[in-house]
Amino acid sequence: MSLLLEGKRAFVTGGTRGIGAAICEIFAREGADVAFNYGARDDLAEETRKKIEQYSKRALSFKVSVTDRLGLKRLAREIVEKWGGIDILVNNAAINRGDNFATTTDRAWDEVIDTNIGSLFAVTKPIYKQMIRQRKGHILNITSIGAMRALPTAVHYATSKAAMIGFTKCLSREAGTFGVKVNAIAAGIFDTDLASALPERLLQMHAFWASAGRLGRPEELAEYAAFMVSDRNSFMNGEVVIVDGGAIT
């Protein structure tokens, strides 16, 4: 049987850490050329490029913010010029802050909302438009169970991730007309830098909630993500799949 993503061209946001880095590597292992963006760490970007290239796949990295609309338009054009198109988009990049709502500052609220929601428009639109032209594509959004359950996480983060669910469901209706599928994974708590922003009490309680009895590993989510954006997943659109280690609802 062929690889899940053989011959595909993918772009992943936030490709140097945690889930994003794992997705880049697993997608390359499954046969995709992978481009990704990052914010600051050139050394981590080089590590991700090497992981992609070890599978003899092409890698492109872009040091550009997910809120930089002009930069992202240029990024999309460059990938299309070099590779001929983009088949897969994974909206993974996000930030969190360990804030209580009563003490959340205007700056903290705007930073989380602008990054986590604003990026959906800035990243997706230029790539979606070229997917429309080629009449095919998969968009996968990484949201959170914090958007669906009353967890003791930050309100701004949960709000932004809930918006991603609405974005997924509504865009999937329009996108389906053009042969483009839009789905999401609602991630539980994974062993990433983002998890370090969660309250300690939540991390302690997680061991009791999740039947797996541990945090998820980034590669575990990446394995499922590879299937979700593959041609074998041919009849799913507008869905939010929970991957959380069997946590109690």
Catalytic sites, residue numbers: 157
Q: What share of the chain is helix, strand, coil (3-state, %, to 5)?
A: 50, 15, 35
Tell me the backbone φ, ψ of residue 21, rounded to 5 degrees: -65, -40
Query: What gap in Å lies between CA 203 and CA 139, rounded to an integer?
Result: 30
154 vs 41, 48, 141, 151, 167, CA distance in Å?
26, 29, 20, 9, 20
Say how many C-beta atoms besides its own lie within 10 A of residue 167's C-beta.
Answer: 20
Cα distance between the two ends of the chain: 37
Token output for 71: 């930069």
